[in-house]
A and B are shown apart, each in its own frame.
With several copies, the nearest count.
Chain A
Amino acid sequence: MKELIARRAARLLQPGWVVNLGIGIPTLVAKYVDEGVVFLHSENGVLGVGPPPGPGELDVNLIDAGKRPITVRPGAAYFDSAQSFAMIRGGHVNAAVLGALQVDGQGIIANWAIPGELVLGVGGAMDLLSGVRTVIVVMSHTTREGEPKIVSQLTLPKSSLRPADYLVTELATFRVRDGGLVLDELVEGVSIDELKARTAAPFSTA
């Protein structure tokens, strides 16, 4: 299911784009893009992330934002955290692929805090949402308990005032347009009634 989501999210990325991939399902997107055509940005200070190191290639000081060892592509560059986030906030990163806990009917995302739990991490998620040109949310359509994650009203704290541009689940891809969700693509074998039953926010089909 995760692979299906990642593969479909990857199709939204345009040649030449600089893309930041979050932790979790977003990480899997790397498998489905040509790193010579799409450039991967990691907010800890790398542009041009390549595949994981092969035997003998490991450098423990070269990691991505998920703290996994990486390699870099030819033409890569290193920079510090302030410059990295300047790129992100300043709109120089074409897209971010991010996970989410909830998304509302306007595309507003909750992906960092759970009420009642001690919140000890935010990382770069809010910065990415504030600045990248296209935000692609990838997530399972429902929680493990089967509850809709696409909701009319967020019950979790929002991550930004800025909505996602695309929302990719194992059932469908939505686009956010004029403050509402628009169904872009239904996964083969999923009926529109099933999708509606598992989605707790309205969406249009054109």
Chain B
Amino acid sequence: MMKVLSAEEAVAEVVFDGATLMVGGFGLVGKPLTLVRALNASAFKDLTVISNNLGEPGKGLGETLRLGKVRRAIGSYFTTNPDVGAAVLAGKLEVTLIPQGTMAEAMRAAGAGLGGFYTPTAAGTRLAEGKETRVLRGREYVLEEPLHADVALIRAHRADKLGNLVYWKSARNFNPVMATAAKTVVAEVDEIVEVGALDPEIIVTPHLYVDRLVIAKERL
């Protein structure tokens, strides 16, 4: 059976100073807000955060940033939080920008044990600078590396007691693929049901990807 912990316990168990964290969500939708609050309340620092964006000013991961815990952010769209630009200009934050689809695919590659992949996205643009490119069958591709993390903090709708997960509408987004790409995966869920209560046909994240469960206390 999967360990069920409070968000504070889970964060204390799996996070460490200097850790690379994946945090699910597209904006605040599908973001593990209870876990992020526990992270913000913790003393952990020097974090690398891989997430599509860094919340809004002072909210969610935006608060993590304000608390000075984030050393590096990897994502596709930080424009909605002006704190990000200010932190970069102040030399407090390093940002790596990746096209959103390349980011998702790099996580999948990590979870799928691949050494890298060639994508047409960003070929010939500034985001391909410094990356190896290659023409294959007449088209230019960029070589992208798998994107791994120490810990993924994800948000799902329901879990069974083994850790099988199903999601809710567009709150699915990066969560299933992050679950495959991190060494340790903590899933924040609305509800934990008995083993066998989820139809095997509809499980999106099978339990072998999940290490800890936390009940969500914060909702949108």
Q: Is A197 in contact with chain B by the CB < 8 A criterion? A: no
Q: Would you call B127 and A93 a contact (CB within 8 A)?
A: no
Question: 1/0 contact trace for B113-148 toward A, CB 8 Å?
Answer: 110000111111111000000000000100000000
Q: Whole-angstrom distance from the CB of A104 to the nearest CB of chain B?
A: 13
Q: How many A-B residue pairs have CB under 8 A?
A: 203
- Which chain B residue shows the least CB distance to A65? B26
Q: Is B57 in contact with chain A by the CB < 8 A criterion? A: no
Q: Would you call A90 and B160 a contact (CB within 8 A)?
A: no
Q: Is A99 in contact with chain B by the CB < 8 A criterion? A: no
- Which chain A residue shows the least CB distance to B112? A86
Question: 1/0 contact trace for A44-87 toward B, CB 8 Å?
Answer: 11111000000000011111110100001011111111101111
> Could you tell me the distance between the alpha carbons of A107 and B129 in the complex, rounded to whole angstroms?
22
Interface residues of B in 1-54 (CB under 8 A from A): 26-27, 29-30, 52
Q: Would you call A131 and B113 a contact (CB within 8 A)?
A: yes
Q: Would you call B169 and A123 a contact (CB within 8 A)?
A: no
> Could you tell me the distance between the alpha carbons of A126 and B29 in the complex, rounded to whole angstroms?
23
Stretch of A136-144, A145-153, A156-164 with 4 or more beta carbons under 8 angstroms from chain B: A156-164
Q: A89-B113, A120-B85, A121-B79 are in contact. Are A82 and B107 (CB under 8 A)?
A: yes
Q: Whole-angstrom distance from the CB of A5 to the nearest CB of chain B?
A: 23
Residues on A with beta carbons closer than 8 Å to the beta carbon of B99: 122-127
Interface residues of B in 176-220 (CB under 8 A from A): 176-177, 180, 195-196, 198, 200-201, 203-204, 206-209, 220
Q: Would you call B220 and A90 a contact (CB within 8 A)?
A: no
Q: How many residues of chain B have a CB within 8 Å of chain A?
A: 68
Residues on A with beta carbons closer than 8 Å to the beta carbon of B64: none
Q: Would you call B208 and A93 a contact (CB within 8 A)?
A: yes
> Could you tell me the distance between the alpha carbons of A74 and B84 in the complex, rounded to whole angstroms?
39
Q: Whole-angstrom distance from the CB of A37 to the nearest CB of chain B?
A: 10
Residues on B with beta carbons closer than 8 Å to the beta carbon of A159: 125
- Which chain A residue shows the least CB distance to B125? A158
Q: Whole-angstrom distance from the CB of A169 to the nearest CB of chain B?
A: 24
Q: How many residues of chain A have a CB within 8 Å of chain B?
A: 58
Q: Would you call A90 and B113 a contact (CB within 8 A)?
A: yes
Q: Would you call B119 and A130 a contact (CB within 8 A)?
A: yes
Residues on B with beta carbons closer than 8 Å to the beta carbon of A120: 77-79, 84-85, 88, 95, 97
- Which chain B residue shows the least CB distance to A113? B126
Q: Would you call B84 and A127 a contact (CB within 8 A)?
A: no
Q: Which residues of B contact A (CB under 8 A)?
A: 26-27, 29-30, 52, 76-80, 84-85, 88-89, 95, 97-102, 104-105, 107-108, 110-114, 119-127, 140, 160-162, 164, 167-177, 180, 195-196, 198, 200-201, 203-204, 206-209, 220
26 contacts between A and B (CB under 8 A): A39-B208, A43-B100, A47-B208, A62-B29, A62-B169, A74-B195, A75-B162, A75-B195, A75-B207, A78-B200, A85-B102, A86-B108, A87-B206, A89-B112, A90-B111, A120-B95, A121-B80, A122-B97, A123-B77, A127-B102, A129-B121, A130-B122, A131-B121, A158-B124, A160-B123, A160-B125
Q: Which residues of A contact B (CB under 8 A)?
A: 18, 39, 41-48, 59-65, 67, 72, 74-82, 84-93, 113, 118-127, 129-131, 157-162
Contacts A118-B89, A122-B127, A130-B120 known; list 20 others, CB within 8 Å. Answer: A45-B173, A61-B171, A63-B170, A67-B29, A74-B195, A77-B164, A80-B175, A80-B176, A80-B177, A85-B112, A86-B180, A89-B119, A92-B180, A121-B79, A121-B97, A124-B76, A127-B100, A129-B121, A158-B125, A162-B120
